[in-house]
Structure 1
């Protein structure tokens, strides 16, 4: 009997996310790139968002498919060794950690670099909101996601 492809032990695939730093404003387009050390089937590429103290949330699976309830401002594309995640219009609530995951080889996720994305809002009384890297998820699994830091704003009003 043959094991399904995803169950066959293979050499670990390393994923590298870029950019290292990107500054955008709410409403702007955010693009995160994920490069694999070996070709990955689109069936096994996913993108997640994780916020502090919360479980990762699946945003994209099969490289470009949004699960039910995920806003259409999130999208994914790519094939082979090069994949892209895009937020077409960044919102303050998008603050969090973002990372690509491949499930073609074991361990399922190895991300080599940490990248940071900043989404500032230039209004009055600005308070920074950011989220740290998640802890190592499991043995052999390293999560070093793209961090989107968004500065929440509170506009002053006259009493």
Structure 2
């Protein structure tokens, strides 16, 4: 039985012109068995709207955009990846995970791109 370890991050938002910040929350580590379904969550703010993207990062590779606008799959990304949201809660679901790596959620504030 194969177990995959997915490393998740906490992303800090720095809105333009503000000193305060809002954290996007998700557990640091998530493991899932191959063939099962796993979900990764993060929490945005009202300023994000649906402008949340999900990326997969592996050592030595460029970040891979999986989902944009909360639930739109990037061209060429397998259907086992899907995004959803309700209010400020965003979720990446991977059916039959076989893609170990670091998964990042990233939000946008108007003209400001928020990265970590």
TM-score band (shorter)? Answer: 0.7 to 0.9
1:112 matched to which residue of 2?
none
Aligned pairs for 1:1-159 within 5 A: 9=16, 11=18, 14-36=22-44, 38-39=45-46, 40-42=48-50, 44-91=51-98, 94-104=99-109, 106=112, 108-109=114-115, 142=116
Unaligned runs of 5+ in 2: 1-14
- Higher gyration radius (CA): 1
What CA deviation, in whole Å up to 9, does each residue of 1:108-159 have, x standing for no partner? 13xxxxxxxxxxxxxxxxxxxxxxxxxxxxxxxx3xxxxxxxxxxxxxxxxx
Structure of greater relative contact order (alpha carbons < 8 Å, 6+ residues apart): 2
Q: TM-score, normalised by structure 2?
A: 0.74
Q: 1:81 to 1:51 in 2, by over 3 A?
A: same
Larger strand proportion, structure 1 or 2? 2
Unaligned runs of 5+ in 1: 1-7, 110-141, 143-159
1:150 matched to which residue of 2?
none
Q: TM-score, normalised by structure 1?
A: 0.55
How many residues of Structure 1 are paired with residues of Structure 2 in the alignment? Answer: 99
Q: 1:10 to 1:78 in 2, by over 3 A?
A: farther
Larger helix proportion, structure 1 or 2? 1
Distance 2:73 2:21 in 1: 24
